């Protein structure tokens, strides 16, 4: 029986007078083939791609090395197997990357949902406390101050900061956190806490100086700043909300406020000033974030690389606009110039507080001050923009009144 071989998808090779060289880059050499076995008549049909013509070769006796035919016949299947194996390897490398990408997207969406849910919950709670005022607002402030002080002293004791300084003893940190929590309450009760803060700072300083071992100045400086940053400055929010008890007579909302909730007398200058301040700071953070994402190019400072000058300018505009609009709604302050100045003070106080907390976290080597609020980090991450703003607003409000 005659053998039938169809040469398709292979390079045509003249079998009669040529043989393959060891390397495809070398030219083919012409020499007589070594005959190892006589084969029967071999019929060859040559098929060319792209053409329907078939060129048959008449049967003839051809002496050929069978091993050479075997090598040619197996050349393409082996290349196909290698290609399939390479595709399988690439696919095996791609699957973990796709899974990681999907997992990262799911994590980001979950964090965004948590951020929105807890952000709305915190906003409603804080808004209710601001409207209630009095002891409700003060107790909420004291709780936030205590948690913020705990986070601050934990940052001071972190590896990033302790590598360059000696932190205060743990018992001093806990005592200072409790003192900071009492400061808002003392502010509401006495109206002025300068004497109380000075006395507390003196007691803490003496405790540090008389401790066993080798007292260090870094312990004293970090503790005093903690009392000032976490305790003294937030107390001005209590003075702003509860201390300015003069009624805002021109506020239209107060005229329709229910009598059971305090009536028109409930809407004081302190309540209006606090609502405008909180709203303008929220607007400043929001507009600065959106502006930085959209057109931010120039970094603001190395302390916080994500903040840009473009986002800062957009945030300033949003803060001033919010302050002006709310001043017209609440009919306080009366002039446009006072409303614009109020917006400036709110914005620069919020930026300074944000950068201060970013500097502390950067030295500590952490991303968030804590993990108390899911999707938001710690309490200091949420209130850093409000810490320095109350002091300037108190001065401006008292000056206008």
Query: To 10 degrees, what angle do helices 379-387 and 269-295 make?
Result: 110
What CA–CA distances, in Å, run from 146 to 15, 150, 226, 269? Answer: 92, 6, 11, 27
Q: What is the mean pLDDT of residues 103-115?
A: 75
- Whole-angstrom distance between the N-terminal and C-terminal Cα of the chain? 117
How far apart are the C-alpha atoms of 126 and 171, rounded to whole Å? 31
Question: pTM score > 0.75 for this model?
Answer: no
**CB-facing half-sphere around the CA of 203: CA atoms within 13 A:** 11
* Confidence category of residue 87, pLDDT binned at 50, 70, 90: low
So what's the pLDDT on residue 255? 80
* Confidence category of residue 196, pLDDT binned at 50, 70, 90: confident
How far apart are the C-alpha atoms of 324 and 341, rounded to whole Å? 10
So what's the pLDDT on residue 397? 61
> Can you tell me whether residue 254 is helix, strand or coil?
helix
- In the chain, % of residues over pLDDT 90: 43
* Confidence category of residue 125, pLDDT binned at 50, 70, 90: very high
The maximal CA–CA distance of the chain, rounded, in angstroms, is 120
> Can you tell me whether residue 43 is helix, strand or coil?
strand
Q: What is the mean pLDDT of residues 43-47?
A: 46
So what's the pLDDT on residue 287? 95
pLDDT tens per residue across span 198-236: 888 999 999 899 888 888 899 999 999 999 999 999 999
How far apart are the C-alpha atoms of 188 and 132, rounded to whole Å? 14
- Residue-wise over 206-227: b if at least 16 C-beta within 10 A, else e? ebbeeeeeeeeebbbebbbebb
pLDDT tens per residue across span 147-174: 999 999 999 988 888 887 888 999 999 9
So what's the pLDDT on residue 195? 83
Q: Where are the domains of the chain?
A: 3-78, 112-400
So what's the pLDDT on residue 59? 47
With tokens 């792209």, the residue in question is: 50
Q: In terms of Cα–Cα distance, which of 325, 237, 322 is closest to 279?
A: 322
How far apart are the C-alpha atoms of 264 and 248, rounded to whole Å? 8
* Confidence category of residue 88, pLDDT binned at 50, 70, 90: low
pLDDT tens per residue across span 226-275: 999 999 999 999 999 998 888 887 888 888 888 888 888 889 999 999 99
Contacts of 309 (CB under 8 A, 6+ apart): 296, 298, 299, 300
- Tallying the residues shown for the chain, one arrives at 401
Look up residue 330 and give its two tokens: 């609440």
pLDDT tens per residue across span 9-41: 444 444 443 344 444 444 444 444 444 444 444
What CA–CA distances, in Å, run from 357 to 151, 349, 360? Answer: 11, 12, 5
């Amino acid at each position: 029986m005659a053998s039938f071989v169809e040469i398709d998808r292979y390079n045509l090779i003249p079998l009669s007078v040529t043989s393959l060289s060891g390397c495809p880059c070398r030219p083919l050499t012409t020499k007589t083939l070594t005959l190892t076995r006589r084969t029967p008549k071999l019929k060859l049909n040559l098929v060319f791609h792209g053409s329907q013509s078939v060129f048959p070769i008449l049967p003839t006796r051809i002496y050929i090395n069978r091993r050479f035919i075997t090598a040619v016949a197996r050349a393409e299947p082996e290349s196909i197997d290698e290609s399939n194996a390479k595709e399988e390897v690439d696919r095996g490398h791609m699957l973990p990357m796709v899974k990681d990408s999907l997992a990262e997207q799911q994590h980001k969406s979950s964090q965004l949902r948590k951020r929105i849910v807890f952000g709305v919950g915190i906003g409603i709670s804080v808004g209710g406390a601001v409207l209630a005022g009095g002891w409700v607002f003060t107790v909420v402030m004291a709780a936030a101050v205590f948690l913020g002080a705990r986070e601050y002293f934990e940052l001071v004791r972190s590896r990033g900061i302790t590598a360059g300084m000696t932190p205060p003893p743990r018992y001093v940190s806990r005592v200072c956190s409790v003192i900071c929590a009492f400061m808002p309450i003392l502010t509401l009760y006495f109206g002025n806490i300068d004497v109380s803060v000075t006395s507390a700072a003196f007691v803490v300083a003496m405790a540090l100086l008389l401790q066993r071992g080798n007292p260090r100045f870094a312990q004293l400086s970090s503790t005093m700043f903690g009392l000032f940053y976490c305790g003294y400055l937030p107390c001005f929010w209590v003075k702003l909300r509860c201390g300015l008890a003069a009624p805002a007579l021109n506020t239209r909302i107060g005229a329709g406020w229910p009598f059971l909730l305090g009536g028109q007398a409930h809407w004081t200058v302190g309540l209006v000033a606090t609502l405008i301040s909180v709203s303008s700071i929220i607007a400043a953070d929001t507009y600065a974030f959106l502006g930085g994402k959209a057109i931010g190019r120039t970094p603001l400072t190395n302390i916080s690389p994500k903040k840009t000058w473009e986002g800062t300018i957009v945030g300033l505009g949003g803060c001033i606009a919010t302050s002006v609009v709310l001043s017209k709604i609440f009919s306080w302050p009366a002039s446009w110039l006072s409303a614009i100045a109020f917006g400036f003070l709110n914005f620069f106080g919020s930026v300074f507080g944000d950068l201060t907390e970013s500097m502390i976290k950067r030295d500590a080597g952490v991303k968030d001050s804590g993990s108390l609020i899911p999707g938001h980090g710690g309490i200091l991450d949420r209130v850093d923009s409000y810490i320095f703003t109350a002091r300037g607003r108190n001065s401006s409000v008292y000056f206008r009144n």
